[in-house]
């Protein structure tokens, strides 16, 4: 009996977390219909979010992208029937050698392989991706795209490797065959009911009735900008978590309309070439050319008020020892006031200890 | 009381050449002594630069009066040999009739004559330099006084008149000591480099001064000053502020635009005229020169992208060095919780949760459960806590 393997390779920031969660919620239903979900992480753990972590690992120099575990194909093949896997980190694979090897390993077990990829207009993708990078310097986007405290990263070799869809998907087409690649456009008007999960369900020919509505928590203006600066200092997670508790999380980092258009223009030709080969969209460069969602001027630079607020937030954090949260200060003040009446010496020592 | 003794009280303003004056007074103590004068200073044997009566005064700008004398101050001052000089610019924070009269009355109990010396700067320049003091306690007080803005000049607020309405403030001193005992000088910024303030001060004392030490005014740089201004709205203590101020650059200066400075100054123009009318300080109608050419046309006191990023990176570096509490400190915190249980068990319950978090990564710190704290209370209090806990629908005992 022939076996099929469906692989969703991203891109990042195109609803993959929601798709993984929906697949996971519906895994038994899918299994009954002959489609097994591969969700196990490389350490054997079920993360209960449908994200099969650890199967791709970045090369020491991020410019080489990521490598695919040599055990992955065999592991996938242990599942019965057709198998589906959704892992956006395959978008970090830039090496034709890696892809050819992986294809060869999968071919030993599967007769048909379908690669599904969702593409988002490069400026929108990078605004979202770069914001995500502000959360941790060890993350691949921070390492590959840099830590500029702006809405969009500088155009660099790393940015081009990810955002030149024609070149990147060309590698997959070379390894797996162009006819095996399904490219979907991550834009409301292109998605079924404007929804990534419903669209994906229709592509794989199954229903995914439960949409858990998973959403990645995004960073606001100050948290994202300070997050990039923390990345520059290679901040430890414990310190980052402590400071994030104090940093304002409203607003959003956005480039100006002009900046976004200039960023996108770098990839327009490549998009046209991709469209010519894969006939993805009736628009020549695949995506809508509407940039009205951006402000006229940049909204990713410090204003007097926001810089004051960010520094005020950091001063507040600096006032307390680590592991203190903003609300703890009030509690501490109440404690000192209470002790002043009964144990004044202890109240004084405590106030001194906590710098009150 | 010796009615023959005179007290010279130098009351500032802040940053109005106080440091050169105080340095010269310290260096020229033998000269002062030969003229029957003593510089009264802190309790320590040697006066420390810039803090001459520091340890005798308490300062808290949230209180009225903001400056108070510690026990024994007036008596100790009166015991100094001959006529006495006290120099402390923090006397400028006194602004009410009641608080100024209190000091004057206490001084007059020991001194026959009280002469008040004040050096003034045009209000915009006064505010700019006052707010630019470094991370010392004086800088901390200035940050408290001017409030939470990181610009070179704050928005005008009538509260600032307490310090900057010189006519109002110095008139209270004059009413208490007599106009003839007021020695007021206006520092003209166009001539400040040529004006020898120290010689001027010594002349007021009736002597020619010796060689003066060069003035080194400790001003904070642009970033340090801007961050420093924000401490007034943070719970940062003075010690931590001083620690933090060290990480910022001290080079570029925080300056407002000419227009902003003129607008700020305009609130005090009329008051300055009245002051000059009463005390005949100089020939300027409005006391000060009204030239703003030294200030830039565009403001140099706002964050640029680079300046803000750099300041935040420095803050992040400082935060990185912020340490967790030690085992001993958390243990002390837990001991205090036991004492809070005596009077407020609901607060203590919340503190217990906090203690568990603080102790999480510390070896050998065990946080006792709630019941063990409660069992240490008197039988009556235990009963009360259990009754109230049941009423709140909580379990009496922790598992």
What is chain A's length?
A: 356
Given strand B37-39, what is the order of strands in its sheet? B37-39, B83-87, B2-10, B111-121, B182-187
**Beta pairing partners, B39:** B85
CA pseudo-torsion sign B161, B163, B167, B171: positive
CA closest to B303 among chain A residues: A304
Dihedral angle, C-alpha A149, A151, A157, A163, nearest 10 °: 150
Q: Please write the tens of the pLDDT for every residue from B258-313.
A: 999 999 999 999 999 999 999 999 999 999 998 898 888 988 888 989 889 999 99
Q: Are strands A4-8 and A82-86 parallel, antiparallel or unpaired?
A: parallel
Q: Hey, is B330 helix, strand or coil?
A: helix
Of the partner residues A233, A304, A316, the one whose CB lies closest to the CB of residue B234: A316
Q: What pLDDT shows up at residue B216?
A: 44
Count CB-CB contacts under 10 A for residue A113: 19
Contact B325 A321 (CB under 8 A): yes
Chain B hits for A308, Cβ within 8 Å = 148-150, 230, 303
CA closest to A331 among chain B residues: B351
Q: Hey, is B163 helix, strand or coil?
A: helix
Contact B313 A343 (CB under 8 A): no
**Mean pLDDT over all residues of chain A?**
93
Inter-axis angle of helices A165-176 and A257-278, nearest 10: 30
Q: What pLDDT shows up at residue B45?
A: 47
Contact B347 A322 (CB under 8 A): no
Q: Please write the tens of the pLDDT for every residue from B165-191.
A: 999 999 999 999 999 999 999 987 655
**DSSP tally for chain B: helices H, then strands E:** 18, 7
Burial label for B217, CB within 10 Å (0-12, 13-18, 19+), is middle
Cα(A120)–Cα(A162) distance, integer angstroms: 12
Question: Whose CA is closest to A354, among A346, B228, B143?
Answer: A346
Contact B315 A342 (CB under 8 A): no
Q: What pLDDT shows up at residue B117?
A: 96
First to last CA, chain B: 71
Chain B nearest C-alpha distance from A342 (Å): 8
Chain A nearest C-alpha distance from B155 (Å): 14
Q: Hey, is B172 helix, strand or coil?
A: helix
Task: Scan residues 222-251 of A and list those with Cβ closer than 8 Å to B.
Answer: 226, 229-230, 232-233, 235-236, 239, 243
- pTM (two decimals): 0.76
Chain A nearest C-alpha distance from B241 (Å): 9
**Residue A254 · residue A297 · CB < 8 Å:** no
Cα(A84)–Cα(B26) distance, integer angstroms: 84
Cis amide bond preceding A316, omega within 30? no
Chain A hits for B324, Cβ within 8 Å = 321-323
Contact B347 A334 (CB under 8 A): yes
Q: What pLDDT shows up at residue B293?
A: 86
When scoring B155, B238, B239, B308 by the number of chain A Cβ atoms within 10 A, the one with the most, hence best to mutate, is B308
What is chain B's length?
A: 399
Half-sphere exposure of A136 (CA within 13 A, CB side): 6
Check pLDDT > 50 for residue B110: yes
In sequence order, which residues have a C-beta less than 8 Å from that of residue B366 and are 6 or more positions away? B359
CA distances from A298 to A123, A250, A252, A256 (A): 14, 17, 11, 4
Chain A nearest C-alpha distance from B9 (Å): 33
Task: Scan residues 123-162 of A and list those with Cβ closer than 8 Å to B.
Answer: 149
Chain B hits for A337, Cβ within 8 Å = none
Identity of the highest mean pLDDT range in A203-212, B78-87, B96-105, B289-298: B96-105
**Residue B14 · residue B133 · CB < 8 Å:** yes
Q: Please write the tens of the pLDDT for every residue from B214-237.
A: 444 445 667 777 787 777 667 777
**Beta pairing partners, A190:** none
Q: Please write the tens of the pLDDT for every residue from B382-393.
A: 887 777 776 555
**Residue B197 · residue A280 · CB < 8 Å:** no
Q: Please write the tens of the pLDDT for every residue from A193-235.
A: 999 999 999 999 988 876 555 566 789 999 999 999 999 999 9
- The secondary structure element, H or E, covering residue B67 is strand B67-69
Question: Whose CA is closest to B351, among B372, B330, B365?
Answer: B330
Cα(A338)–Cα(B333) distance, integer angstroms: 14
Of the partner residues A226, A311, A338, the one whose CB lies closest to the CB of residue B343: A338
- The secondary structure element, H or E, covering residue B112 is strand B111-121
Check pLDDT > 60 for residue A281: yes
Q: Please write the tens of the pLDDT for every residue from B25-52.
A: 888 888 899 999 999 875 544 544 444 5
Spell out the alpha helix ranges (H) of chain B: 18-27, 29-34, 73-79, 97-108, 123-130, 137-146, 161-164, 166-177, 197-205, 222-230, 238-245, 258-265, 269-279, 305-320, 327-341, 345-359, 370-374, 379-391
Q: Are strands B111-121 and B182-187 parallel, antiparallel or unpaired?
A: parallel
Q: What pLDDT shows up at residue B191?
A: 55
Of the partner residues A235, A301, A331, the one whose CB lies closest to the CB of residue B354: A331
Chain A nearest C-alpha distance from B348 (Å): 8
Inter-axis angle of helices B327-341 and B345-359, nearest 10: 170
Cis amide bond preceding B65, omega within 30? yes
Please give the ipTM for the structure prediction. Answer: 0.85
CB contact, 8 Å: A291 with chain B? no
Token pair in block for residue B213:
């030490």
Q: Please write the tens of the pLDDT for every residue from A111-168.
A: 999 999 999 999 999 999 999 999 998 889 999 999 999 999 999 999 999 999 999 9
**Residue A64 · residue A95 · CB < 8 Å:** yes
Question: Whose CA is closest to B235, among A64, A318, A277?
Answer: A318
Contact B343 A323 (CB under 8 A): no
Q: What is the 3-state secondary structure (H, E, C) of chain A?
A: CCCEEEEECCCCCCCHHHHHHHHHHCHHHHHHCCEEECCCCCCCCCCCCCCCCCCEEECCCHHHEEEECCCHHHHHHCCCCEEEEECHHHHHECCHHHHHHHHHHHHCCCCEEEEEEEECCHHHHHHHHHHHHCCCCCCHHHHHHCCCCCCCCCCCHHHHHHHCHHHHHHHHHHHHCHHHEEEEECCCCCCHHHCHHHHHHHHHCCCCCCCCCCCCCCCCHHHHHHHHHHHHCCCCHHHHHHHHCCCCCCCCCECCHHHHHHHHHHHHHHHHHHHHHHCCCCCCCCCCCCCCCCCCCCECCCCHHHHHHHHHHHHHHHHCCCCCCCCHHHHHHHHHHHHHHHCHHHHHHHHHHCCC
Half-sphere exposure of A313 (CA within 13 A, CB side): 19
Q: What pLDDT shows up at residue B230?
A: 79
Cα(A187)–Cα(A283) distance, integer angstroms: 12
Mean pLDDT of B320-333: 85
Chain B nearest C-alpha distance from A148 (Å): 10
Contact B235 A307 (CB under 8 A): no
Token pair in block for residue B88:
């402390």
Check pLDDT > 60 for residue A292: yes
Residue corresponding to tokens 């010392």: B136
């Amino acid at each position: 009996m022939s076996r099929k393997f469906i692989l969703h390779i991203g891109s990042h920031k195109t609803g993959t977390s929601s798709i993984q969660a929906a697949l996971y919620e519906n895994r038994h239903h899918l299994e009954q219909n002959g489609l097994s979900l591969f969700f196990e992480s490389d350490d054997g753990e079920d993360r209960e979010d449908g994200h099969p972590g650890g199967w791709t690992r970045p090369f020491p120099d991020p410019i080489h992208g990521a490598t695919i575990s040599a055990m992955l194909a065999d592991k996938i093949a242990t599942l019965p029937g057709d198998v589906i896997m959704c892992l956006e980190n395959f978008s970090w694979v830039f090496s034709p050698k890696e892809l050819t090897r992986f294809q060869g390993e999968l071919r030993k077990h599967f007769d048909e392989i379908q690669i599904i990829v969702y593409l988002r207009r490069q400026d929108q993708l990078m605004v979202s991706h770069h914001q995500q990078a502000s959360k941790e310097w060890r993350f691949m986007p921070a390492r590959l795209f840099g830590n500029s405290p702006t809405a969009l990263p500088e155009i660099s070799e790393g940015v081009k490797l990810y955002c030149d869809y024609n070149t990147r998907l060309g590698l997959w087409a070379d390894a797996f065959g162009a006819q095996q690649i399904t490219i979907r456009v991550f834009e409301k008007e292109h998605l079924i009911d404007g929804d990534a999960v419903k669209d994906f369900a229709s592509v794989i020919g199954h229903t995914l009735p439960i949409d858990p509505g998973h959403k990645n928590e995004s960073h606001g203006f100050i948290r994202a900008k300070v997050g990039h600066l923390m990345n520059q200092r290679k901040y430890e997670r414990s310190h980052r978590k402590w400071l994030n508790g104090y940093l304002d999380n409203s607003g959003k980092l956005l480039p100006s309309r002009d900046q976004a258009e200039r960023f996108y223009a770098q990839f327009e030709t490549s998009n046209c070439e991709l469209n010519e080969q894969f006939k993805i969209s009736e628009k020549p460069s695949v995506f809508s050319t509407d940039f009205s969602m951006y402000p006229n001027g940049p909204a990713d630079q410090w204003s007097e008020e926001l810089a004051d607020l960010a520094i005020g937030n950091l001063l507040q954090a600096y006032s307390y020892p680590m592991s203190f949260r903003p609300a703890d200060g009030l509690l501490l003040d109440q404690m000192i006031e209470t002790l002043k009446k009964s144990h004044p010496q202890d109240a004084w020592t405590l106030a001194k200890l906590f710098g009150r | 009381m010796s009615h023959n003794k005179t007290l010279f009280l130098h009351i500032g303003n802040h940053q109005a050449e106080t440091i050169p004056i105080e340095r010269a007074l310290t260096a020229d103590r033998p000269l002062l002594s030969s003229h029957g004068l003593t510089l009264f200073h802190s309790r320590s044997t040697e006066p420390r630069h810039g803090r001459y009566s520091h340890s005798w005064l308490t300062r808290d700008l949230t209180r009225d009066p903001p400056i108070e004398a510690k026990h024994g101050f007036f008596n100790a001052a009166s015991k100094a040999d001959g006529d006495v000089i006290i120099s402390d610019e923090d006397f400028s924070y006194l602004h009410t009739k009641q608080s100024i009269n209190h000091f004057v009355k206490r001084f007059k109990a020991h001194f026959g004559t009280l002469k008040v010396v004040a050096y003034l700067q045009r209000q915009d320049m006064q505010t700019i330099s006052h707010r630019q003091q470094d991370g010392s306690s004086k800088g901390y007080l200035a940050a408290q006084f001017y409030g939470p803005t990181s610009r070179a000049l704050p928005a005008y607020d009538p509260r600032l008149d307490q310090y900057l309405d010189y006519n109002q403030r110095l008139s209270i001193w004059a009413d208490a000591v007599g106009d003839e005992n007021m020695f007021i000088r206006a520092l003209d910024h166009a001539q400040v480099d040529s004006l020898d303030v120290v010689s001027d001060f010594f002349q007021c004392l009736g002597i020619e001064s010796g060689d003066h030490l060069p003035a080194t005014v400790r001003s904070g740089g642009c970033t340090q000053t801007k961050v420093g201004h924000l401490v007034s709205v943070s719970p940062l203590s003075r010690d931590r502020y001083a620690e933090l101020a060290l990480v910022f650059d001290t080079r570029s200066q925080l300056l407002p635009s000419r227009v902003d400075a003129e607008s700020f100054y305009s609130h005090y123009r009329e008051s300055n005229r009245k002051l000059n009318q009463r005390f005949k300080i100089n020939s300027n109608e409005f006391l000060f020169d009204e030239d703003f050419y030294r200030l830039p046309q565009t403001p140099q006191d706002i964050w640029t992208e680079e300046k803000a990023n750099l300041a935040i990176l420095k803050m992040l570096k400082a935060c990185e060095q912020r340490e967790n509490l030690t085992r001993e400190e958390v243990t002390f915190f837990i001991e205090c919780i036991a004492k809070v249980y005596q009077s407020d068990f609901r607060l203590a319950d919340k503190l217990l949760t906090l203690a568990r978090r603080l102790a999480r990564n510390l070896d050998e710190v065990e946080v006792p459960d709630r019941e063990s704290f409660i069992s240490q209370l008197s039988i009556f209090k235990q009963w009360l806590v259990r009754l109230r806990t049941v009423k709140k629908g909580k379990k009496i005992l922790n598992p």
